[in-house]
Amino acid sequence: MINQLSFYLPAIVILALFLSAAIKILREYERAVVFTLGRFSGVRGPGLIILIPIVQQMIRVDLRTLVLDVPEQDVISHDNVSVKVNAVIYFRVIKPDLAIIQVENYMQATSQLAQTTLRSVLGKHELDEMLAERDKLNKDIQEILDAQTDAWGIKVSNVEIKHIDLNETMIRAIARQAEAERERRSKIIIAEGEQQAAQKLLEAAEIISQRPEAMQLRYLTSLNTIATQNNSTIVFPFPMEWIETFGKKSGGKSAG
């Protein structure tokens, strides 16, 4: 019995090795790019697939969305400001055969392309645009990357600029600019308020000039207000128009 087992043992080992090399199991998000004698013979999976050992080889490709962190890049803006920018890219393989056949390492190729595209796109914009229009820049970079990686069977779904780092000198300059802008707006608001007040005073003067008795009523109202707020004796000028009015009335009575 032992001799028979020893006789069959090499065959069992060979069969086990053969099956392990021939039978492959792929997860739902995986695909196998199969080559037969070095020639592309198709994409298989998911699930159980059988290969011919030695004759066929396969390369696994992950179809899930991949996250690629773009290293920090030195960028010179259109207005000659040096900044450091890094970003993150979300992409996935939609054609496994192209991702394996058309490029040696699609992860590294996408990373290098993202770095050069990031510098190229941001270099065409001024610093203010980088800080204020980040969503637009993200979309521009995503569209360029998606178009250039299409030949590799890759779909770039999103690009996000993470940080735009400025040196201390530029930060202080931006702070001074912001302070000057706030001061400018404050002066404009004050000037507009004075303009509106002057306009209202002009309108009031025009109304009073048309009705002289309105000026007398305003004068009496002011006297009443001051009298209720102060207890000290106050001397007010007496309008000359009133003296003339009283003089005319007195003269008329004397004549009668």
pLDDT in tens, 41-86: 999 989 999 998 889 999 999 999 999 999 999 888 888 888 899 9
- 189-204, pLDDT tens digit by residue? 888 888 888 888 777 7
- pLDDT for 236 equals 55
The domain ranges of the chain are 2-62, 66-171, 197-248
**What crossing angle do the helices spanning 106-122 and 134-149 adopt, rounded to 10°?**
140
The Cα–Cα gap between 186 and 191 comes to 9
User: What is the model's pLDDT at position 161?
Assistant: 92
Residue 223: pLDDT over 70? no
Residue 219 CA to residue 69 CA, distance in Å, equals 76
CATH of 66-171, one of 3.40.50.880, 3.30.479.30, 3.30.70.1090, 3.40.190.10: 3.30.479.30
Query: Model pTM?
Result: 0.64
Helix (H, G, I), strand (E, B) or coil at 3: helix
Q: What are the tokens at 206?
A: 């025009």
Burial of 60 (0-12, 13-18, 19+ CB in 10 A): middle
Q: Residue 30: in which H helix or E strand, if any?
A: strand 30-36
